[in-house]
């Protein structure tokens, strides 16, 4: 797994990487995550169930993205792949510089590659045009792509000019053991609590929320807002609270650690999502799993996530549309059964099922024939008249560097890493728990005899 975004940073992509990796390990696969260093977190770290993470010495520039190096970390990347005995390289997120370089470099060395897209991008603004062009180059020689929703799949096929048969839609999921309802935790009492949890940035629709909150507060005196998250739009919320004197009715929590998200969600009756673009939105899934009714803008893949009885979609993605949807939800919110919501989500979304479907994609990829150098040139030429030539030149230089590395530092001379045996680990844990149980039983028996 290769991506710029991973722990200790927390977000949808990071949680997807973590959960998918853990389930693949439990299914008997070896998983290694490659990302860049985060502060003092550098080198090789082991995480739960033996998940091995390489924090490479690459400096992030903007939004935890490293500066593209083109060739600089190619020798280190090759060494890791050979050392760990990797067979499939799986990149994540279109805005990750490491993903783009890893996919192209992996294909140069003959590895099977997969890509998962987590976001929607447009076709008109400068940033989207550049990302789409780079993505088209990277995915020209990809084995298979995965999208987290059908809307995301259609978007990716158009952006990267892909064959739809090479793109699958596999949704995100949620761990129901970490998000369960608790109606007794709702506070303040005698109010209807509306929770908004997201990064406070433009694309999350905070500008809409700033106008929606005062109007709902004016229409419904018993409504209390709980806002979690931080970002550049935090100032707008502070100004809104001051302007409308809502200090007692709007609670700004700031940044909330992921381990405490559930404690915030269970305080609410309704979850408000004002996103302007979303390919899936795990946040509304977590909220519904905690028993909250969801009110959201109708954008991207959001209509695919929850059934109509769990979510109210704004008729228009405007302030009036959200106010109308919230007003309808407030009238019927007391009819919602949180535990019924939880049971439904528990059977609808499961990371083990996601891992099984990803495993099927991997098996299909492994059976694909290996392309010749000329076939790869032909694929890269489709990127564009001039961009295609640049892509072919880049691929040719990478190939030459790889051949030099194979001569200077042959793969057979690279020391292989010792694998973490998950089955032995589980057996040892079970034996440890069994011995602890036997010891406790013996202690209780002795105390009873005494």
pLDDT tens track for 289-316: 999 999 999 999 999 999 999 999 999 9
12-173+353-413 is classed in which CATH architecture?
3-Layer(aba) Sandwich (3.40)
Q: Which two tokens stand for residue 317?
A: 């993605």
Q: What's the rounded mean pLDDT across residues 251-274? A: 94
**Mean pLDDT, residues 185-204 taken together:** 92
295 burial (CB, 10 Å; 0-12 / 13-18 / 19+) is: buried
Judged against a pLDDT cut of 80, whether residue 44 lies above it is answered with yes
Owner of token pair 């209780």: 444
- Give the distance between the most distant pair of CA atoms in the chain: 89
Helices 74-84 and 385-408, axial angle in degrees (round to 10): 60
Decide if 159 contacts 115 (C-beta within 8 A). Answer: no
pLDDT beyond 80 at 226: yes
pLDDT at residue 196 is higher than 70: yes
Q: What is the pLDDT of residue 124?
A: 87
- Residue 372 reports pLDDT greater than 60: yes
Domains 12-173+353-413 and 183-348 share a fold: yes
Using one digit for the tens of pLDDT, what is the confidence trace for 77-123?
999 999 999 999 999 999 999 999 999 999 999 999 999 999 999 89
Per residue in 352-361, is it b (16+ CB within 10 Å) or e — as a string? Answer: eebbeebeeb
- Helix axes 12-26 and 282-289, enclosed angle (nearest 10): 70
**Closest to 38 (Cα-Cα) out of 18, 73, 1, 63:** 63
Q: Mean of the pLDDT values across residues 136-162?
A: 95
Q: CATH homologous superfamily of domain 183-348?
A: Glycogen Phosphorylase B; (3.40.50.2000)
Whether the predicted pLDDT of 125 surpasses 60: yes
> What share of the chain has pLDDT > 90, as a percent?
80
Q: For residue 436, count other CB atoms closer than 10 A to its CB.
A: 10
Mean pLDDT of 340-349: 93
pLDDT band at 447 (very low <50, low <70, confident <90, very high): low
Does the structure show a pLDDT above 70 at 255?
yes
Angstrom distance (rounded) from CA 125 to CA 269:
38
Half-sphere exposure of 94 (CA within 13 A, CB side): 27
Residue 343, both tokens: 């049971």
- Indicate whether 12 pLDDT > 90: no
What's the rounded Cα separation, in Å, for the pair 82 and 177?
Answer: 37
Is the pLDDT at 273 greater than 60? The verdict is: yes
3-state SS assignment for residue 395: helix
pLDDT at 381: 92
Instruction: Find the mean pLDDT for residues 270-287.
Output: 94
**Count of Cβ atoms closer than 10 Å to residue 349 Cβ:** 21
Ordered DSSP codes for 5-20: --TTS-SHHHHHHHHH
- Band of residue 127 on the pLDDT scale cut at 50, 70, 90: confident
Distance between CA 63 and CA 255 in Å, rounded?
Answer: 16
443: pLDDT strictly greater than 70? no
Domain range summary for the chain, segments of one domain joined by +: 12-173+353-413, 183-348
- Average pLDDT, rounded, for the chain: 92
pLDDT of residue 344: 94
Q: What pLDDT shows up at residue 9?
A: 87
| Cα–Cα distance for residue pair 278/119, rounded to 1 Å | 7
For the sheet containing 51-56, what is the strand order?
32-36, 51-56, 43-47
Give the pLDDT of residue 318. Answer: 94
* pLDDT recorded at residue 426: 72
Q: Does residue 186 contact residue 290 with C-beta atoms inside 8 Å? A: no
Question: What six digits make up the tokens of 91?
Answer: 């990149």
Tell me how crowded residue 73 is: count the other CB atoms within 10 A of its CB: 20
First to last CA, the chain: 57
Tell me the whole-structure pTM to 2 decimals: 0.90
**pLDDT computed for residue 442 by the predictor:** 58
Asked whether the predicted pLDDT for residue 437 surpasses 60, the reply is: no
Residue 146 φ then ψ, to 5°:
-125, 135
Q: Output the pLDDT for position 360.
A: 96
Give me the pLDDT at residue 420, please. Answer: 85
Backbone φ and ψ of 220, nearest 5°: -125, 95
Q: Give the per-residue pLDDT at 32.
A: 97
Residue 435's pLDDT is 64
Structure tokens at 185: 């935790």
Pairing of strands 43-47, 51-56: antiparallel
For the chain, give the number of residues: 450
224: three-class secondary structure by DSSP: strand
Region 354-379: mean pLDDT is: 93
Q: What is the mean pLDDT of residues 190-215?
A: 94
Residue 393 has pLDDT above 60, yes or no: yes
**E strands along 285-396, which residues?**
293-296, 311-313
On the 0-12 / 13-18 / 19+ scale of CB atoms within 10 A, 174 is buried
Mean pLDDT score, 120-128:
89
Select from 372, 379, 413 the least CA-distant residue to 136.
Answer: 379
Of 99, 84, 87, which Cα lies nearest the Cα of 134?
A: 99
Q: Is the pLDDT of residue 439 over 80?
A: no
pLDDT (0 to 100) of residue 274: 95
**Per-residue pLDDT at 174 exceeds 60:** yes
Q: Which two tokens stand for residue 44?
A: 């090789």
DSSP for residue 38: B
Q: With 90 as the cut, is the pLDDT of residue 155 above it?
A: yes
């Amino acid at each position: 797994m290769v991506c710029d975004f991973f722990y200790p940073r927390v977000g949808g992509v990071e949680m997807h990487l973590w959960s998918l990796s853990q389930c693949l390990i439990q299914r008997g696969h070896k998983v290694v995550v490659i990302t860049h260093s985060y502060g003092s977190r550098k080198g090789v770290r082991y995480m739960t169930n033996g998940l091995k993470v390489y924090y490479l010495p690459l400096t992030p520039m903007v939004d935890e993205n490293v500066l593209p190096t083109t060739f600089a970390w190619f020798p280190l990347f090759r060494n890791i792949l050979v050392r760990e005995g990797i067979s499939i390289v799986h990149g994540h997120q279109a805005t990750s510089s490491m993903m783009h370089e890893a996919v192209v470099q992996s294909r140069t060395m003959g590895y099977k590659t997969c890509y998962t897209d987590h976001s929607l991008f447009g076709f008109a603004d400068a940033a989207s045009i550049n990302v789409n062009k780079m993505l088209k180059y990277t995915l020209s020689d990809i084995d298979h792509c995965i999208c987290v929703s059908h809307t995301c799949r259609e978007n990716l096929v158009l952006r990267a000019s892909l064959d739809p048969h090479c793109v699958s839609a596999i949704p995100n999921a949620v761990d129901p053991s970490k998000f369960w309802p608790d109606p007794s935790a709702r506070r303040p009492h005698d109010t209807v609590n509306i929770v908004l949890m997201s990064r406070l940035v433009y694309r999350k629709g905070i500008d809409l929320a700033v106008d929606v909150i005062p109007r709902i507060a004016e229409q419904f005196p018993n409504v209390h807002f709980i806002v979690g998250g931080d970002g550049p739009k935090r100032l707008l919320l502070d100004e809104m609270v001051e302007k409308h004197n809502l200090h007692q009715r709007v609670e700004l929590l700031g940044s909330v650690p992921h381990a405490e998200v559930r404690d915030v969600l269970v305080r609410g009756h309704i979850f408000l999502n004002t996103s302007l673009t979303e390919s899936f939105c795990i946040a509304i899934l977590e909220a519904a799993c905690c028993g909250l009714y969801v009110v959201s803008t109708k954008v991207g893949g959001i209509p695919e996530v929850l059934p109509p009885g769990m979510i109210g979609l704004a008729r228009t993605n405007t302030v009036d549309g959200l106010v109308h949807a919230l007003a309808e939800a407030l009238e019927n919110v007391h009819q919602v059964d949180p535990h019924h919501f939880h049971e439904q989500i528990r059977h609808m979304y499961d990371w083990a099922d996601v891992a099984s479907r990803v495993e099927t994609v991997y098996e299909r990829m492994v059976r694909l024939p290996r392309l010749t150098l000329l076939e790869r040139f032909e694929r890269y030429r489709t990127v564009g008249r001039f961009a295609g030539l640049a892509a072919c030149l880049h691929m040719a230089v990478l190939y030459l560097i790889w051949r030099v590395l194979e001569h200077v530092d042959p793969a057979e001379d690279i020391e292989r890493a010792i694998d973490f045996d998950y089955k032995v680990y589980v057996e040892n844990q079970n034996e440890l728990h069994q011995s602890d149980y036997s010891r406790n039983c013996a202690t209780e028996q002795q105390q009873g005899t005494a």
